[in-house]
Structure 1
Amino acid sequence: METVYGSMRQHGLVRPTQGRLLGGVVAGLGQRFGIDPWPARLLFILILLAIPGSQILIYPILWLLMPSEESTTPATPATPV
């Protein structure tokens, strides 16, 4: 599974941490292809209306396969108790 994540991350297919509505899949696809999130969502809905069904299967599969975008803030080390 790590190779799938690495391949998608290498191609710029990641789910952004900011601007998600559900899982961030459509926002990530829009980001990859240079489209703002809202026009990408509208395009997704229009495609869903034109070809019903396939997007309902594709969205959850991409949600599982697309890695989440890593945050740029460094993690704070845990302090011992």
Structure 2
Amino acid sequence: MNDLKFRDTDHAVRPAKSFALDRSNGKLMGVCSGIADYFGIDALWVRLGFVAGTLLGFGSFILIYLAIALIAD
């Protein structure tokens, strides 16, 4: 038998993932939409996470959101 039959010979080069604000689908500055695009999930879940984090974290997620908006792009 051929011992190399399970060897992966198809090496596709994938472009590196990069984070960017998605201003076209974003509501405020595109932060949540950009995070959702990066991780491949729906932006609604990221927005709900930020709202829950803001309410439970005494507003600290607002600072995180603003920091991401200023640093990205």
Range class of TM-score, shorter chain: 0.5 to 0.7
Structure 1, unaligned stretches of length 5 or more?
1-9, 68-81
Residue type matched to 1:13 in 2? F
Bigger Cα Rg: 2
Q: Does 1:53 align with 2:32?
A: no
Higher RCO structure, 1 or 2 (CA under 8 Å, sep 6+) = 1
TM-score (norm 2): 0.67
- What does residue 22 of structure 2 align with? 16
Question: RMSD of the TM alignment (CA)?
Answer: 1.5
Tell me the secondary structure at the aligned position of residue 38 of structure 1: helix
TM-score (norm 1): 0.61
The question of whether the paired residues in 1 share the 8 Å contact of 2:23 and 2:29 is answered with no
- What does residue 31 of structure 1 align with? 37
Q: Percent identity over the alignment?
A: 33
Residue type matched to 1:48 in 2? T
Structure 2, unaligned stretches of length 5 or more?
1-15
State the aligned residue count: 58
Runs of at least 4 residues off by over 3 Å? none
